[in-house]
Amino acid sequence: MNISNLEVIGIDHGWSMMKTVSQVFVTGAKEIRTEPAVFDDVLELDGKYYKVGTQRQEVKDRKTDDESFLLLTYASIAKELKRRGKTSADVFLAVGLPLTRFGSEKADFIHYLTARKEVTFYYETVCYTIRIVNAAVFPQCYAAVADRILAFKKKTLIVDIGSWTIDIMPVINKSPDESNCITIQRGLITCMRAINEKCVRLYNGEIDESELQNLMRYGADYAKDEEYYQVAKDEIEAFVEKVYNSIREYGYNLKTTPIIFVGGGAVVMKNFGNYDEKNISYILDIKANARGYEELADIGLRNMRKKA
């Protein structure tokens, strides 16, 4: 393996959004039965066409249950290679999993992503030829703060709010305390579901997920003066309070423990939370985990070069 010529590509495989260091798009890849008329966001692989990034796919037990996340990985690689001015490359993937599922799913995820080594596909009519050299998996909560962990105080709590899960990770003496890491399956998708269930019950209609995401991202400034949006704001505020209650239930003092919110839900906690304590901070970059994966992989590969 020629380490010096590798393209290291960090990818955060979220259930709602796919993220690389430069790209964010909806987690969805749906087959088109005939050759499409328009090739924007279209992946062609093995003679089949897939529309990428338009409609979110359903959450499954594992990301390796079908080929969807593999297709989304190829789309992510194409987007990153285009930015780097390349159409062929030896690719080293840097990805992540929740800390509490890290040990049990790591090997399967690596096999899933690397089983097919040589891949030629088209994305938006451009041909890409790649060789998947290998993949490294990192803890998704840790990766978002890895570049600043040396500046942490003796104990800091990292709360990564994603589409499907909330990861709570204590960092003690600048190292993750894996024995006390917690994953809660109550992320932003469950909040959006609760909003629309209530909207259907009250008004016989729903709010599109993209509109809900904008409301979460921009807060009250985005909210429209409609009954639907009042329901949405009420449910988002209830979601935020549940997150704080979960932190409190696990024994952390909301006024004294340094808490850093990361992931897509960090902006939700900032926009809709009622806590304005100095010990609470936010990393609002939704691509922070993907950037962390890539940086950690680069560090590991540089160390391999030195040893070689």
Q: 3-141+289-307: what fold?
A: Nucleotidyltransferase; domain 5 (3.30.420)
Q: 145, 149, 184, 178: which is closest to 165 by C-alpha?
A: 184
pTM higher than 0.85 for the full model?
yes
**How much is the pLDDT for 40?**
96
What letter represents residue 27's amino acid?
T
The per-residue pLDDT string of the chain (308 residues; one tens digit each, 9 = 90 and over) reads 556 689 999 999 999 999 999 999 999 999 999 999 999 999 999 999 999 998 899 888 889 999 999 999 999 999 999 999 999 999 999 999 988 788 889 999 999 999 999 999 999 999 999 999 999 999 888 899 988 888 887 899 999 999 999 999 999 988 888 889 999 988 999 999 999 999 999 999 999 998 899 899 887 665 566 888 899 999 999 999 999 999 999 999 999 999 999 999 999 999 999 887 889 999 999 999 999 999 999 999 988 877 76
Q: 236, 96, 241: which is closest to 169 by C-alpha?
A: 96
Q: 42, 8, 38: which is closest to 25 by C-alpha?
A: 42
**How much is the pLDDT for 185?**
87
In the structure encoding, which two tokens stand for residue 223, read together? 């909210």
**How much is the pLDDT for 234?**
93
CA angle 92, 94, 100 (to 5 degrees): 145
Q: 145-282: what fold?
A: Nucleotidyltransferase; domain 5 (3.30.420)
DSSP sequence for the chain: --GGGEEEEE-EE-SSEEE-SS-EEES-EEEESS--S--TTEEEETTEEEEESSSPPPP-S-TTSSSHHHHHHHHHHHHHHHHTT-SEEEEEEEEEE-HHHHHHHHHHHHHHHHSS-EEEEEETTEEEEEEEEEEEEEEHHHHTTGGGGGG--SEEEEEEE-SS-EEEEEEETTEE-GGG-EEES--HHHHHHHHHHHHHHHHS----HHHHHHHHHHGGGT--SSHHHHHHHHHHHHHHHHHHHHHHHTT--TTTS-EEEESTTHHHHHHH-----TTEEE---TTHHHHHHHHHHHHHHHHHHHH-
**Biggest distance spanned by C-alpha atoms of the chain:** 65
List the domain boundaries for the chain. 3-141+289-307, 145-282
For residue 273, which phi and psi values (nearest 5 degrees)? -80, 155
Query: CATH topology of 3-141+289-307 equal to that of 145-282?
Result: yes
Decide: 282 and 288 in contact? Cβ < 8 Å: no
Q: Using CA atoms, how far apart are residues 9 and 303, in angstroms rounded to an integer?
A: 18
